[in-house]
Structures are given as C-alpha cells and as structure tokens.
Amino acid sequence: MSASPTTTFDDNNTDTSTLTNPTLVLNCGSSSIKYALISDDNATRITGLAENLGLDTARIKHTTLNGEKLEISIPGGRHKLALQKILELLEQYHFIAVGHRVVHGGREYSEAVRVDEHVLDEVKRLKVLAPLHNPANALGIEAVQAIYPDMPQVVVFDTAFHQTMPPVAFRYPLPKALYEEHKIRRYGFHGTSHAYVSERATEITDASGTHGWLTAHLGNGCSATAVYDGKSLDTSMGLTPLEGLMMGTRSGDVDPSLHIHLKRQLDMSLEDIDTMLNKESGLLGISGLSNDLRTIEQAASEGHKDAELAIEMFCYRVGKYLASLSCALPELTGIVFTGGIGENSVTTRTRILEVMRHFGIKVDVDKNAKLVGGNEGSFHSSDSSLELWVIPTDEEGRIAQETREALNLV
Ligand code: ADP
C-alpha cells in the first residue's frame, strides 16, 4: 500500500473529512480485536471492535468518521477472518503504518520497535508469560504481513514503560537463579496508559519542577504506577497482570500459599486455581453479581451487602497501594485517575482518597462531580497537599504516536 500525503475520502458518501497519513492501531485480545485508524495529528479517528471471536455471535462493530455505526456479523469467525474484514473496511483510507499493542515484551524491550523476523519470534516466544495475549498479537502482525508484505509495522509493549523500574522494585525476593536464568521478575502492564496520563498531567499542571505522579488506571484491569520525571519507578502489576489491585474478575494480591492450600484442602488443580483467580474473583467474586462496577454500585445503593463490601474492598486496596507506591517517589505532585472506573465513578475516587486520610488531600466536591464521561480536569481544592486529576486515557493515540516515532515519521 502506498503512502498518500492527504487522503480525502467520501465515507458512504456522507463524510468529506480528511484523514492525513493515518496509522492503524490494532489491539488483539484473546477473543476480541480493538482497532483505530488515527490521523497523523491524532485528531481524527475511525474506530471499531471485533468481539466474541470464535463464537456464533462473532461480529465487528465499526464506527465511521461521521459517527455512523455499522455491525458486521461473522458467525464463528476467528482472528484471521476478523482481521481480513477489518483491513478490507479500512483499505480505502491508505494507512501508512500499523502499530500493535503487545502485552508482554519481556526483558528485552524498553521501547516500541519495528517488526522484523526476530521481533515477531520474540512476541511468539513470550507467550509463556502472556498465554492469552501474545499469540493473538502475533496473529495480528501476520495477518497484516499476509495482505501488505511491505507495510511497516511496530509493536508497542505494555511492559516497556516499566523497564525503568530499579531492581529494588522489579525483583521478587526469590532465589537469584529464577531471575537470571528464567526472567522471573516484575514487569508491570498498562504501560501506554500510565505513560500517556502521567505525561499529560505534567503538561497541564501549573506545578513547577520535577513531577512525581501516582497514576491509577482503573478499568476491568486495574493497576497503579509511581512515575517520577516521566519514568516508571514502581507499579502494582508484576510478572503477570494478576498481581496488585483488585480488578473486575482478577483477585490481585493474595497469599502465595493459597495455591498449595487449595490444592491440599479442595484438591483443586493449578489450572482451576488460575482460572478462579483470573476470571471469578475481584469485584465479581466478592459481589457475586458482576464484574461491572455500575451494576455493583446500583445493587449497593439498594442495600446489597456483598456489593457494598466489593466496593469498599476495591477502594481500600487501591488507596493502600497508592499510599505504598508513594514510597517510590522522591517527590509527590499528585494522583491521576483514569480507565472506565477512574474516569467515571465520582464516589469511587472519593472513597479511595478517604482511605489515604493521612495525606492531607482535600477534594473539591463540585469539581469531582463534573469529571465524568470523558472530561479531563483537576478536582483538588486550593488547600490540598496533593493535586488530583482525572485524565481520560488514550492508549490508541499513544500507540499511534510511538509507532510514528519508531518509524521516524514525525
Ligand atoms: P477495559 O479495562 O476493559 O478497557 P474500561 O476502562 O472500559 O475497561 O472500564 C470498565 C469499568 O469501568 C467497568 O467496571 C465499568 O463498570 C466501569 N465504568 C464505566 N462507566 C462507569 C460509570 N459511569 N460509573 C461507574 N463505573 C463505570
């Protein structure tokens, strides 16, 4: 596919906008593919989602530039078919590069890299560390290669931003050989999100000097990071995205002896325990209702005791983690909330900050209430010891930017 400096298009004969030198961002998950076609100034986008892959209900939900929604059914379709359809839908816009979100980059990658044979092999090899995600990411790269062999492709690793963590934060207190010979260490995830929101906070704050941020990415997956002078110094997720905060269906931290205990007491297999910790725990496990905070908040407001406990535990664990991560920072400027929960749940933000009651944080209640539905802004009052921000994350935009940088297109 050839580069075209400015592609003017007529989207279903209804849109005459321009999408200049677009980059295609692909985020291939285990049963879904999120995609976004993004102009070189990050301002204009076409977005979509292929979901339920492998099931009868597999479909692609596509939103055109003018906001029109299309749904394409691909019953039983898997990644390969979905990717073919997505590429067909977007072909007319002459994208010039593809950036892939790849979950695990292991120890080798501290920044986005252009795909070559070695990089693709590494993405596949690291499936030992991310069995659900890395194989899907590799499929995405190969699908593009098959149709556009000359298309420059870049991989942006979720782990890369955290490669600045010092050993004191990334090592586990385990025998040395496990680290040296088997790469057992803490890697951290959600890197593009933590990088984006901390950079954005630094851009928009009035505070002078070097900034230290605690960033809380609270979505279905949840993690918190300590960022100083643009570098990740510690984070809540570890070898896998299970460590750390309580999440939608993931437990976060539990006693490492839980596995042996459950094996002995209930004769559970390691696989069953892993499934339980990843898919049946967290907000879902405690509430017994849902992994979706909206459903749980509704139930709690109607007096559902387990829903109330799920929210209380969630907030307590986030607050406790943020407090402990502050130890990684030479200076602390403030806290940044992002992700579906962080961007929308006013009460969750309030309750997390109440857990941190010894920090001298003061919330401006009116400002906090207005920060929902994609609004960006601060909500600390003038006498607060720390700044408080809500910054909607933009992982796709950040991946597009890193892709252009890795290809020297900027
Ligand atoms: P993912 O990690 O899958 O990208 P999101 O960042 O979209 O997930 O976050 C999903 C979470 O955000 C869900 O728990 C959902 O209930 C929560 N959420 C979204 N909107 C709201 C809202 N208005 N109030 C409370 N929680 C919300």
Give 31-77 pLDDT, tens digit per residue.
Answer: 899 999 999 999 999 999 999 999 999 999 999 988 899 999 999 99
Q: Which domains are present in the chain?
A: 5-157 (3.30.420.40), 198-395 (3.30.420.40)
Q: How confident is the model at residue 2 (pLDDT cuts 50, 70, 90)?
A: very low
Does the beta carbon of 102 sit less than 6 angstroms from any atom of ligand 1? Answer: no
Q: How confident is the model at residue 410 (pLDDT cuts 50, 70, 90)?
A: confident
69-73 and 18-19 strand pairing? unpaired
b (16+ CB within 10 A) / e for 183-201 = ebbbbbbbbbbbbbbbbbb
pLDDT digits (tens, 9 = 90+) for 129-188: 887 789 999 999 999 999 999 999 999 999 999 999 999 999 999 999 999 999 999 999
Does the beta carbon of 182 sit less than 6 angstroms from any atom of ligand 1? Answer: no
Q: How confident is the model at residue 397 (pLDDT cuts 50, 70, 90)?
A: very high
pLDDT at position 16 is 37
pLDDT digits (tens, 9 = 90+) for 102-122: 999 988 788 999 999 999 999
Q: How confident is the model at residue 282 (pLDDT cuts 50, 70, 90)?
A: very high
Q: Which long-range contacts (CB under 8 A, 24 or more apart) does 119-125 make?
A: 119/155, 123/155
Q: Which residues are known to be catalytic?
A: 158
Angle 122-231-180 from CA coordinates, rounded to 5°: 45
pLDDT at position 17 is 55
Computed over every residue of the chain, the mean pLDDT equals 93
b (16+ CB within 10 A) / e for 68-96 = eeeebebeebbbebbbebbbebbeebbbb
Query: In a mutational test of the pocket of ligand 1, which residue from 27, 103, 215, 220 has the highest number of ligand atoms less than 8 Å from its CB?
Result: 220
For helices 134-147 and 117-125, angle between their N-to-C axes, nearest 10 degrees: 150
